[in-house]
A and B are shown apart, each in its own frame.
Chain A
Amino acid sequence: MLGLLAKSSDESLMSKYQQGDSSSFEKLYARHKDPLFAYLYRSHVDLSAIEEIAQETWVAIIDSAKNYRASAKFKTYLYAIAHRKLVDFWRKNKFDYLLDRTDGSGESIVENIADNRSSSTDSIDLSMDLLLALESLSKEQQQAFLLRGEGFTRREIAVMTDTNEETIKSRIRYASTHLKRILEVQYAD
C-alpha cells in the first residue's frame, strides 16, 4: 500500500511541478536521483559519463514537464529517457553495442573472472564480481537485466527499449544464466 502511494505520489508531484511548484520537483528528485545514478553506474562505469547522462536525463524531464501526462508511471518515464540517453552515448562514442565485452588483450571478461575467481574470492566482493560480469553481456542483455532489477515488468522494458516482450524475456534469461555461470563458485560457497 505504501509502495502504491509512493508511486501515485510521483505523478502528483510531477503534476504540481507542471503548475510551477518547484518544491514538488525537489521531492521527486530526492526520491529518484540516487537509484537512477546507480542504474547508470551499473550500465557504464565511467563516472564522468554517468554524471553527464544523469544531468541530461533530468534536464529532459524538466524541459518536457509541460507535456508530461500521467498515463504511465513516472519512474518508467524517467528510466526510458535515461535508457535512451545511454544508447545515444554508446552510439556517439562507438561502443560495441552487440558483442560481448573483452579486455585489452581481447580475452572475454567473463572468462577472466571465472579463471581468477578461486584466488580472488576473499578479496573481491561478490557484488563487484557481478558488476564486472555485467560488462561481459551485450548492452541489450545488460539493459534488459538491469531494468528488470529496477522492478520494471517485461512489458514495460519492451516499451522502454522499443522491442517486443518475447525478446526481452529471452535477453533476461540469457543474461541471468550467463551471470550465474560466472558466479557459480561464490553461490556454492
Chain B
Amino acid sequence: MPTKQDQDDAELSVLLTKAEPPKSPQHVDDYILAYARAQAVASKPGSRWQFLAVSKSWLNQNWVFAVATISVAVIAVSLSFQNFITPSMDEIALTTATGRGVADFDAPAGLRFQPTQTSLSGDELSVATVSPSRLLAADDNEYRAARAVADELSQSRLAQPAATVASGASSQKEVRDNVLEEIVVATGLVRSNAQAAASPGATARPRLDTLVAADPAAQQSLVEMLTRVLIGPDQLELAGSAPLADLIAPLISAYNEIADEPIIAATADRYRDARLNFTAFNLPESLAQLMDFLQAIE
C-alpha cells in the first residue's frame, strides 16, 4: 500500500513531466542508429567483420599482453635478420678492425681500388669478385675453398661442347663470366656486377687495373712485392719489359698452389707486412682480394 510519501513523490513526478522536455535531436538519433547498424553487421554470426569485434574486446582486456608479445616478436625477427644482412662495401670499409676506410684505398695519384668489381676494358671480360665482407674476415681458407668450387664449376662448364654455349669469339669468356656470376650469386659470397655497379661511387672510382696497365713502374713494384710474398725474395727474377699478364701468371699459379694452412697464414702475414711498406699505391687489405683482381687481368 502506497504511503503518503510515495503519493507525494508521484505527484511531484507527474508535475515534473508536465514541463515538456526537449526531444532527442535528429542528428544524435542518426548517429546512434548508424553506429548500431554498423556494430550489428560486425556482430552477426559468420560475419567477416566479427573477428574484428572479438579482437577489439580481446585487446581491451589484454592489451598489455598483446604489446609485450608484439615487442618480443619484433626483436626476435630483427635479431634473426641480422644474420642474413650483408653489409655494403662502404659499411665494411668503415668498420674494419684497422679502422681503414674506403678513403684509404685512394692512390696518391687519386686512383682507387674498387674491390667489388674488376673488369678488363679491352674485351669487356667482367669477373665478379669475392665479397669484401668475407675477405676482410681474414679467412683466406674460406675464400680459397669457395674459389676452388667456383673454378671447378667454371672449368666443367667450359668443358661442355661448343654447341651448348653461346657462339662467337668471346663465348668462353662469357661462359666463364656467367658461371662465376651464377656461383657467386648463389653462394652469396660475392656481389654481382649489377649490384656492384649500383653501389654509390662505383663509376666514380678509377680502377686498379687501369693504374697497373698504364704505369710500368707500378707494375714493377707490384710484381716485386708479390714475388717476395708468394715465392720468396731469393726467387725474384724480373722480366722488366714483359706484359703484365705474363708477369703475374706464375704468381697466380704459386698462390693457387698454396694449400697448407700454416703456409696460407704465413703468406697472409707477409702480404700484410709488405702492404704496409708498399708505397707505390694503396693495396687491398687482403691478399685474396689482390689475387682475385690479378686473376681477372690474367
Give A residues with C-beta under 8 Å from B.
17-22, 25-26, 29, 33-34, 36-38, 41-42, 47, 50-51, 54-55, 58-59, 62-63, 65-66, 125-128, 130-131, 134, 145, 148-149, 172-173, 176, 179-180, 183
Contact = CB atoms under 8 A, between A and B. Distances in A.
Q: DSSP majority for the A interface?
A: helix
A134 B9 CA distance: 13
A149 B18 CA distance: 13
Given A37-B22, A59-B32, A62-B36, 14 more contacts: A17-B36, A19-B45, A22-B40, A36-B24, A37-B21, A41-B21, A42-B21, A58-B35, A125-B18, A130-B12, A130-B15, A134-B16, A172-B9, A180-B8
B19 A62 contact: no
A180 B12 contact: yes
Contacts, number: 106
Contact of A176 (B9, B18, B28, B43): B9
A132 B283 CA distance: 96
Q: How large is the interface on B (under 10, 10 to 19, 20 to 34, 35 or more residues)?
A: 20 to 34
Given A19-B45, A20-B41, A55-B31, A25 B21 contact: no
> B-side binding surface: helix, strand, loop or mixed?
helix
Contact of A66 (B16, B35, B57): B57
Contacts of B16: 42, 127, 130-131, 134, 149
Interface string B52-71: 01000100000000000000
B35 to A, nearest CB: 6
A131 B28 CA distance: 24
A66 B43 contact: yes
Contact of A148 (B9, B35, B36): B9
Nearest to B14: A149
A34 B32 CA distance: 13
A134 to B, nearest CB: 8
Interface string B1-16: 0000100110011011
A58 B32 contact: yes
24 contacts: A18-B43, A19-B44, A19-B45, A20-B41, A20-B45, A26-B36, A29-B36, A33-B24, A33-B29, A34-B21, A34-B24, A37-B21, A38-B21, A42-B16, A51-B25, A54-B24, A55-B28, A59-B32, A66-B43, A126-B18, A127-B19, A128-B19, A149-B12, A180-B8
B73 interface: no
A66 B24 CA distance: 25
Contacts of B88: none
A141 B32 CA distance: 30
